Amino acid sequence: MRKLFLLLTLITLPAFMVQAKTLDARASYLWSSDKNQAMASLSVAPTYNTRAGLVARYVKDMRDYSFGRLKDPIYSVYLPLLFQFELLDIELTPFYYFEHNADNPSYQDAYAYGGTFALTMLMENDQVNDIYTRARLGASYARQQGTLFTKDAAPENTDYAQAAYFLQLSHSLFRAYRLEATGAAFQYPDGITGVTAFRGVLNQQDLVALQTLDITRDLRKYALGGRFVRMWAESGSTLYIGYSFTENYTADPDHSFIIGNSFPLVKNVFFDMAYNHIETTSHKNKRDIFYLGLGTSF
């Protein structure tokens, strides 16, 4: 599976780039008291209704988990594919996490792979008044090698599977406002009863992206979120605020509040910045996350 993913990456994207009609590039940096992340992406549109990309991510996780720290950086790659039709968009994003060495000989080295599949359907299309409603329905699956911790047993080096199912609704008004809502549920085919932690590298955001910038490895139960976006079509600027609530199996529930702004710097160059405050319901754990992004189109 790992070799197949890397082979597809090496073959598919260069083939698309040769035929590309447009090319988008983006870089971003995220930091907090216990994590740093850098991302770079490149996407091309070989045809009018097809887009393919390659995303690379670096994460330095300094958080103190119950099993210790993940001392080495974590590297992952993604191959997003988008097929656009008149009333339906189809998304497929396989991903792979490179092997992360364990500093404790009791734990095995960790890696992960998986993918997300989503359908976006146009539910309302009022072109006269610029009112649009879209529904995005999808599922994700991932499998990661790592170490499982439970209440009544010794740590177990194992492969662990996860699945997630999500529904996202988006309602746009007059090219000026957009309302978004997201709900997600998580499933663990290998069992979740009694699990207290899993030492792995997978960021749960790869299964379902919610209204948070957080990089989390806690095993989720369900999540709800929403976002309000104010758009200025003439300038291409947006201002957004968002909220999400997440119930976890291996951590306290948490609230996430996010505010951000994106705007053009010069022609075809956009800048994005955001601030994210996360707080558990017990108020014992509070985190502030900052984000900067830069994108361009050719």
In a domain, 85, yes or no: yes
pLDDT tens digits for 226-279? Answer: 999 999 988 889 999 999 999 999 999 999 999 999 999 988 899 999 999 999
Query: By percentage, how much of the chain surpasses pLDDT 70?
Result: 93
DSSP single-letter state for residue 11: H
Q: How confident is the model at residue 16 (pLDDT cuts 50, 70, 90)?
A: low
Q: What is the pLDDT of residue 20?
A: 54
Within a domain: 63: no
Residue 164, exposed/middle/buried by CB under 10 A (0-12, 13-18, 19+)?
Answer: buried
Q: Is the pLDDT of residue 124 over 60?
A: yes
Q: What is the average per-residue pLDDT within 219-226?
A: 96
Higher local confidence (pLDDT), 211 or 291: 291
1 has pLDDT over 80: no
**What's the chain's length in residues?**
298
CATH number of the domain that 286 lies in?
Answer: 2.40.160.40
Q: Is the dihedral of CA 150, 153, 159, 161 positive or negative?
A: negative
Lowest-confidence pick of 86-95, 103-112, 222-231, 269-278: 103-112
In a domain, 26, yes or no: no
Q: Is residue 23 part of a domain?
A: no
Residue 249 DSSP code = S
Closest CA to 213 of 293, 140, 277, 284: 277
pLDDT at position 180 over 70: yes
Q: Check pLDDT > 80 for residue 68.
A: no
- Burial call 233-242: b when 16+ CB within 10 Å, e when fewer: eeeeebebeb
| Position 65, amino acid | Y
Is 140 within a domain?
Answer: yes
- The pLDDT, as a whole number, for residue 297 is 86
pLDDT averaged over every residue in the chain = 89
Q: Look at residue 52 and tell me if it is in a domain.
A: no
Distance CA 144, CA 129 (A): 47
Q: Look at residue 17 in the predicted model and tell me its pLDDT.
A: 52
Q: Is the pLDDT of residue 91 over 60?
A: yes
Res 4 pLDDT > 90: no
Residue 131's pLDDT is what?
84
Q: Residue 281's domain spans which residues? A: 74-297
CA angle 95, 57, 77 (to 5 degrees): 25
* Residue 241 in domain: yes
If you average pLDDT over residues 175-195, what whole number do you get? 93
Answer with the residue of higher pLDDT: 20 or 126: 126
Residue of 290, 294, 291, 226 whose CA lies nearest to 255: 226
249 phi and psi, to 5 degrees?
-80, -35
Q: How many domains are there within the chain?
A: 1
Identify the band that residue 69 occupies on the pLDDT scale cut at 50, 70 and 90: confident
Residue 169 forms part of a structural domain: yes
